[in-house]
Amino acid sequence: MRSLLFVPGDSDRKQQKGLDSGADALILDLEDSVALDAKPQARRITLAFLQAAQALPRRPRLIVRVNALSTGLTDADLDAVMPGAPDAIMLPKSEGGVDISHLGAKIAVREAEHDLPDGRTRIIPIATETGKGVFGLGSYAGATHRLQALTWGAEDLSADLGAETNRLTDGSYADPYRLARAMTLFAAAAAQVDAIDTVFTNFRDDAGFRAECLAARRDGFTGKMAIHPAQVAPINEIFSPAPAELAKAEAIIALFAANPGIGVIGLEGEMLDRPHLLRAQRLKARADRLQGH
């Protein structure tokens, strides 16, 4: 998944608009974008959308962001949306592997109740929205077979820290959030899942948004969450392997396959070893997944 677009759970109009956005996934939000007294209605609207979208010949992946486990609202969210068979559940304010194991058990019960295959529903935690969550990043590896990706958040983290802001005057992240971002990459690598970059809230700053996407791709993120449909196309463009990059990756893979006993190979004046092969294989796998999307 390159682009994951947030849409409010209580707006069927925005959910329908999301289908036309070109996003790889829609995050149907029952948390921050929905007021407390509107959550029952949001659950009903989201279920209806899930059920209708399942019949479409081609659709984005459908992810539901439930309310955090600490709110006491998660069970009601799952009861409402699991009959619609979402592809994944996004868990906000996740604080480690114990949280997603707990969520996985809740999901398993509801999969059985609704005749869904065991393990079908994946989990994507937002892993850095609290200080405690940052310390729990190393516990995701092996916590559950449902783990699909890891993402991070800076807005709730700044509130938890009591910070005045999470960005510097030049638009870059302040040190605590740069650390959380980097640790998310390490945690995703340890768990062998994709790392998804967080949202860019100033959707009118096209240059800043594009620069942040390019930096995320450079560092190892495979996609980015979006808060506005206009952000989807740039995300898809930037996080799709360029033809020249893909051609080089395929050449590296072919060269190592033709020379299985050699640890270091020269290509176009560059000495290549196993890390280059692994990067090429990952890029080729990502391109294959996108082609089959």
Name the residue ranges covered by the structural domains of the chain.
Answer: 3-238, 243-291
- At 147, is the secondary structure helix, strand, or coil? strand
- Give the whole-angstrom CA distance, residue 261 versus residue 33: 55
Residues in contact with 102: Cβ distance below 8 Å, sequence separation at least 6, in sequence order = 69
What residue has token string 């898809």?
236
pTM value is: 0.89
pLDDT value of position 88: 98
pLDDT value of position 289: 79
Nearest CA among 44, 7, 31 for reference residue 92: 31
Average pLDDT over residues 154-159: 96
Are 186 and 128 in contact by the 8 Å Cβ rule? The answer is no
pLDDT value of position 293: 54
- Give the whole-angstrom CA distance, residue 138 versus residue 2: 24
- Residue 111's H or E segment, with its range, is helix 97-113
Instruction: Write out pLDDT tens, residues 23-71.
Output: 999 999 999 999 999 999 999 999 999 999 998 999 999 999 999 999 9
Average pLDDT over residues 173-184: 98
Q: Which CATH class is domain 3-238?
A: alpha beta
- Give the whole-angstrom CA distance, residue 40 versus residue 29: 13
pLDDT value of position 253: 86
Instruction: Write out pLDDT tens, residues 264-286.
Output: 888 887 888 878 888 888 888 87
- At 101, is the secondary structure helix, strand, or coil? helix
Average pLDDT over residues 2-19: 96
Instruction: Write out pLDDT tens, residues 216-245.
Output: 999 999 999 999 999 999 999 999 987 887
- Residue 151's H or E segment, with its range, is strand 149-151
